[in-house]
């Protein structure tokens, strides 16, 4: 009997598979189509074999909204393994939705090429274990309760004995009570009269409070013992533009500026827990779309029986004070950053303050026990004493004088501007200030200029002898020309030694001249002129358009070029990466005479970049595996928290889920950079409506943004052929940039314009704008605008957007004015 006769058939294997006690199923595809499922799995699902061949959502519609279908999709697309223990799942068994608990695993099964071919799904129903654990915990709680009850019974028995002794005392006390009852009846009548009088007083007090609160500019609010607002005065309605009813029903915490909300709520909740007074500064959203600074003070209220009744708060508008503080802070930063010599001294000449630039110039580490005269170079101190004596008599001065650096002993010149600081009320001089620029270079230049004038006089005398020397100079010039030719040859040799070559194109004849290094690199004959057809044959076809566009732009606009691309040696076939830089030279009439530059072998640097990108891609891909699992478990916990109505956990998990989304976006960005620069970022074009994509992207943005108004203007209604997901990423990235760099309450305007052969999309904001020197570099990889490091990001979003648009044969650019906002444009060709 052959060995193959012992092998089981497919039907026999399925029969054995069905007899396994572990619930097992096999799924294929993103929608988790059920390829096979044994009886144990069908029993868990409460289904028969009619579900074979259906997607998981079709077979078990109750799973919609639960995280398991998304987990299957992640496992299929990314080749993951996701597992869990004591995981809750809602399944419909016999027409009834019930909650079960499982230990499960979704494992991607891959072929030899590493591609996922199916998902092995195993599950163990541990509901009994979980419920038994909960039952044991409840039994323990019941046992502890019984023990406490037994202890109470023992105490009760002892108490009964005490009651017997006390009963005799009660008989005697009863007689006293009868006498006291008559007295209480009289007191009760008096008390009723006092209660009525007190009620009338409280009503009158409440009326006075509301009259006072409504007539003041102070923002007054009242909250009850549960923390709910029960009253806001008219100042609040004037500030927010909302009615009292809206304020009471509206979440008052949502009116607080997002940057102040967590800090103020922490102060409030901590004080609320201890029932103590508190203070805090915060910004409140006003009816004009801006924010006002308020100083809030809250005092706890108590009922007559001492129980907590809530808070009464009063807020004062301190916006003007905060703006002044901000101006002072900016002025202080300006002084600290200034390169001029800035100082402040007392009337006894002791130094009160010097800015960092002044301390550096003087070589000092501090101003302790220093006077203004210590700054002055010893030889110039008599002048300084005279000037300072005059300023004490209210005479400001401006004088060129030398200060000195104590560490080096060297003097430096400044234009010393001294002026007085006066008391605003008494006009009395209270301090001396100086703001003085360093004029050392100017003074040196003046001295040199004076020397030059003296030298000019001597030069006139020498001019007569110069003619005699001209003849000798002519001979020297001939020798110099010969040396220059020799130097040019040495320069050419240095260029070739540094893996560089030269090239030149005649703008009129398009004749090409190349050094031997370039010809050898491209595999061109050394003894023949270079031809454009052979050069283009050696350049990678994917880069032909880029090279041709650079040549056309240079010859038409006289612009410089700097391009990088791979070439293949026409003889050996070896691939190299090169960098070609070029510049157009023009004559006095502006006509191009030569287009030339360098040709540099950058293969080693490019290979290093590719290896770096492969490493970034590998790390980013590995990071997504645990991140996906974390996301799945967070979703499971969110469902459990919502079911348990645990509001604190719901908020914490929502924030966790938001941070996971941000981290996933960053990792996807690095992956896209890696794929882009390694040539693996594929463009899959389909026909789609651009209007629909714009609306969907804006709606997705509104899910996480509420501080700006995004306006979609009437659009052009066009269908284009492009990669829908990647164009959506470009639109989303440009809108996100506008949100990050714009103040809350401003507008983001999205519009679309149809041209003859292309469609143009514009995203306009009212943000901080972009400096002119940053605009040209904005779309470079990892480039971030200077001075905005408080805003998060890695500088890859605009770089990816530019590459995606370029690969669609489109164009992307920005127009901006500092302080007024920016407009990002991109175009896509029509079909």
Segment holding 117, helix H or strand E: strand 116-125
Between 734 and 154, name the one with better pLDDT: 734
The band of 644, judged by pLDDT with boundaries at 50, 70 and 90, is confident
- Spatial distance between the Cα atoms of 518 and 516, rounded to a whole number of angstroms: 5
The band of 212, judged by pLDDT with boundaries at 50, 70 and 90, is low
pLDDT, average across residues 667-682:
55
**pLDDT value for 374:** 92
pLDDT, average across residues 212-216:
70
The band of 620, judged by pLDDT with boundaries at 50, 70 and 90, is very low
Q: Which residues pair with 812 in a beta bridge?
A: 826
**pLDDT value for 159:** 58
**607: how many CB neighbours lie within 10 A of its CB?**
11
- Spatial distance between the Cα atoms of 93 and 648, rounded to a whole number of angstroms: 32
Q: What is the pLDDT of residues 759-807, one digit of tens each?
A: 999 999 988 888 888 877 787 765 555 545 444 444 567 877 888 898 8
pLDDT, average across residues 202-207:
55
What does residue 354 show for φ and ψ, rounded to 5 degrees? -135, 135
Distance of CA 594 to the CA centre of its chain: 47
pLDDT, average across residues 614-638:
62
- Spatial distance between the Cα atoms of 118 and 116, rounded to a whole number of angstroms: 6
Pure H helices in 595-646: 603-644
Distance of CA 209 to the CA centre of its chain: 47
The band of 485, judged by pLDDT with boundaries at 50, 70 and 90, is very low
Q: What is the pLDDT of residues 691-749, one digit of tens each?
A: 899 888 888 776 555 568 888 887 778 899 998 888 988 888 888 888 888 888 888 99
Task: Please check whether residue 35 is in contact with residue 26, taking contact to mean a CB–CB distance below 8 angstroms.
Answer: yes
pLDDT above 80: residue 829:
yes
Instruction: Supply 780's token pair.
Output: 């470079």
Instruction: Supply 439's token pair.
Output: 């004029």
Q: How many helices (H) and strands (E) does the chain have?
A: 21, 27
DSSP type of residue 116: E
Between 174 and 410, name the one with better pLDDT: 410
Between 204 and 82, name the one with better pLDDT: 82
pLDDT above 50: residue 1:
no
- The pTM of the full predicted model, rounded to 2 decimals, is 0.30
Q: What percent of the chain has pLDDT over 70?
A: 76
**pLDDT value for 623:** 56
**pLDDT value for 364:** 93
- Spatial distance between the Cα atoms of 137 and 500, rounded to a whole number of angstroms: 79
**pLDDT value for 488:** 47
The band of 150, judged by pLDDT with boundaries at 50, 70 and 90, is confident
In 745-830 the beta strands, taken as DSSP E runs, fall at 747-754, 758-764, 811-817, 821-829
Q: What is the pLDDT of residues 567-591, one digit of tens each?
A: 899 888 888 888 888 888 888 788 8
Between 633 and 47, name the one with better pLDDT: 47
pLDDT, average across residues 98-120:
90
- Spatial distance between the Cα atoms of 441 and 446, rounded to a whole number of angstroms: 9
Instruction: Supply 150's token pair.
Output: 């037994």
**pLDDT value for 194:** 59
**Residues whose CB is less than 8 angstroms from the CB of residue 100 and which lie 6 or more positions away in sequence, other chains included:** 44, 88, 89, 90, 91, 125, 127
**pLDDT value for 764:** 93
Of 529, 635, 613, residue with least CA distance to 84:
635
Which residue matches tokens 């006894």?
348
- Spatial distance between the Cα atoms of 576 and 567, rounded to a whole number of angstroms: 5
pLDDT above 60: residue 198:
no
**Cβ-based burial of 59 (10 A; exposed 0-12, middle 13-18, buried ≥19):** buried
Tell me the average pLDDT of the chain.
79
Instruction: Supply 503's token pair.
Output: 């090239």
The band of 646, judged by pLDDT with boundaries at 50, 70 and 90, is confident
Between 362 and 179, name the one with better pLDDT: 362
Sheet holding 411-422, edge to edge: 351-354, 341-345, 429-436, 411-422, 397-404
Q: How many residues are there in the chain? A: 831
- Spatial distance between the Cα atoms of 118 and 76, rounded to a whole number of angstroms: 7
pLDDT above 90: residue 404:
yes
Q: What is the pLDDT of residues 252-283, one digit of tens each?
A: 778 889 898 888 888 888 888 888 898 889 89
Q: Are strands 747-754 and 709-712 parallel, antiparallel or unpaired?
A: parallel
**pLDDT value for 405:** 93
Segment holding 96, helix H or strand E: strand 96-110
**pLDDT value for 611:** 59
**pLDDT value for 621:** 46
């Amino acid at each position: 009997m052959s060995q193959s006769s012992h092998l089981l058939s497919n039907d026999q294997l399925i029969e054995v598979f069905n007899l396994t006690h572990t619930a097992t199923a096999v799924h294929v595809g993103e929608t988790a189509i059920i390829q096979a499922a044994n009886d144990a799995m069908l029993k868990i699902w409460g289904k028969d074999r009619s579900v074979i061949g259906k997607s998981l959502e079709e077979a078990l519609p109750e799973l919609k909204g639960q995280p398991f279908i998304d987990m299957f999709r992640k496992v299929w697309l990314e080749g993951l393994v996701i597992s869990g223990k004591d995981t809750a799942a809602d399944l419909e068994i016999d027409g009834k939705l019930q909650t079960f608990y499982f230990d499960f695993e979704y494992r991607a099964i891959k072929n030899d090429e590493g591609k996922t071919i199916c998902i092995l799904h195993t599950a163990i129903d541990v509901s009994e274990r979980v419920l038994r654990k909960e039952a044991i915990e409840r039994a323990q709680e019941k046992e502890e309760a019984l023990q406490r009850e037994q202890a109470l019974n023992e105490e009760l028995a002892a108490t009964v004995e005490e009651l017997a002794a006390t009963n005799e005392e009660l008989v005697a006390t009863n007689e006293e009570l009868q006498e006291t009852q008559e007295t209480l009846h009289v007191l009760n009548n008096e008390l009723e009269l006092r209660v009525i009088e007190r009620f009338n007083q409280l009503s009158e007090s409440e009326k006075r409070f509301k009259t006072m609160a409504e007539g003041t500019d102070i923002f007054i609010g009242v909250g009850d013992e549960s923390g709910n607002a029960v009253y806001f005065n008219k100042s609040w309605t004037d500030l927010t533009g909302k009615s009292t009813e809206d304020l009471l029903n509206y979440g008052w915490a949502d009116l607080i500026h997002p940057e102040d909300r967590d800090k103020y709520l922490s102060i409030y909740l901590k004080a609320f827990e201890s029932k103590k007074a508190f203070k805090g500064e915060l910004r409140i959203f006003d009816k004009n779309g801006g924010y006002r600074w308020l100083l809030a003070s809250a005092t706890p209220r108590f009922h007559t029986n001492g129980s907590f009744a809530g808070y009464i708060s009063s807020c004062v508008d301190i916006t003007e004070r905060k703006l002044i503080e901000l101006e002072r802070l900016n002025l202080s930063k300006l002084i600290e950053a200034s390169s001029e010599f800035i100082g402040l001294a007392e009337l006894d000449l002791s130094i009160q303050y010097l800015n960092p630039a002044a301390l550096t110039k003087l070589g000092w580490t501090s101003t302790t026990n220093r006077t203004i005269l210590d700054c002055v170079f010893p030889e110039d101190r008599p002048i300084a004493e005279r000037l300072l004596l005059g300023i004490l008599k209210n005479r400001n001065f401006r004088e060129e004088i030398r200060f000195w650096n104590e560490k080096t002993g060297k003097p430096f010149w400044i234009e010393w501007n001294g002026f007085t600081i006066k008391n605003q009320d008494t006009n009395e001089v209270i301090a001396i200030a100086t703001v003085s620029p360093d004029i050392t270079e100017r003074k040196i230049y003046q001295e040199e200029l004076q020397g030059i004038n003296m030298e000019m006089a001597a030069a006139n005398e020498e001019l007569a002898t110069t003619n005699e020397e001209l003849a000798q100079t002519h001979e020297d010039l001939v020798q110099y020309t010969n040396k220059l030719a020799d130097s040019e040859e040495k320069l050419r040799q240095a260029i070739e030694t540094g893996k560089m070559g030269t090239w030149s194109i005649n703008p009129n004849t398009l004749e090409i001249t190349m050094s031997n290094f370039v010809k050898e690199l491209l595999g061109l004959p050394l003894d023949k002129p270079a031809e454009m057809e052979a050069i283009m044959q050696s350049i990678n076809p994917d880069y032909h358009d880029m090279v041709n566009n650079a040549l056309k732009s240079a010859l038409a606009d006289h612009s410089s070029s700097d391009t990088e691309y791979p070439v293949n040696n026409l003889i050996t076939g070896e691939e190299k990466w090169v960098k070609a830089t070029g510049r157009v030279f023009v004559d006095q009439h502006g006509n191009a005479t030569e287009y030339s530059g360098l040709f540099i072998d950058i293969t080693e640097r490019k290979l290093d970049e590719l290896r770096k990108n492969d490493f970034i891609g590998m790390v980013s891909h590995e990071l997504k595996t645990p991140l996906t699992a974390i996301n799945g478990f967070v979703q499971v916990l969110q469902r459990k928290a919502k079911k348990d109505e645990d509001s604190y956990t719901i908020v914490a998990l929502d924030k966790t889920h938001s941070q996971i989304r941000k981290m996933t976006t960053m990792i996807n960005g690095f992956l896209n950079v890696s794929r882009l620069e390694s040539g693996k970022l594929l463009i899959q074009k389909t026909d789609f409506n651009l209007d629909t994509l714009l609306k969907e992207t804006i709606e997705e943005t509104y899910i996480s943004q509420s501080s700006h108004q995004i306006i979609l203007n009437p659009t052009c209604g066009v269908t284009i052929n492009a990669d829908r997901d990647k164009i959506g990423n470009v639109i989303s990235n440009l809108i996100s940039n506008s949100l990050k760099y714009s103040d809350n309450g401003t507008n983001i305007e999205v519009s679309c314009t149809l041209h003859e052969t292309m469609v143009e999309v514009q995203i306009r904001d009212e943000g901080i704008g972009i400096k002119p020197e940053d605009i040209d570099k904005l779309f470079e990889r990892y480039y971030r605008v200077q001075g905005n490091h408080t805003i998060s990001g890695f500088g890859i979003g605009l770089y990816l957007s530019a590459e995606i648009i370029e690969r669609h044969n489109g164009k992307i650019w920005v127009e901006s004015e500092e302080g007024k906002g920016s407009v990002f444009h991109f175009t896509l060709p029509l079909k």
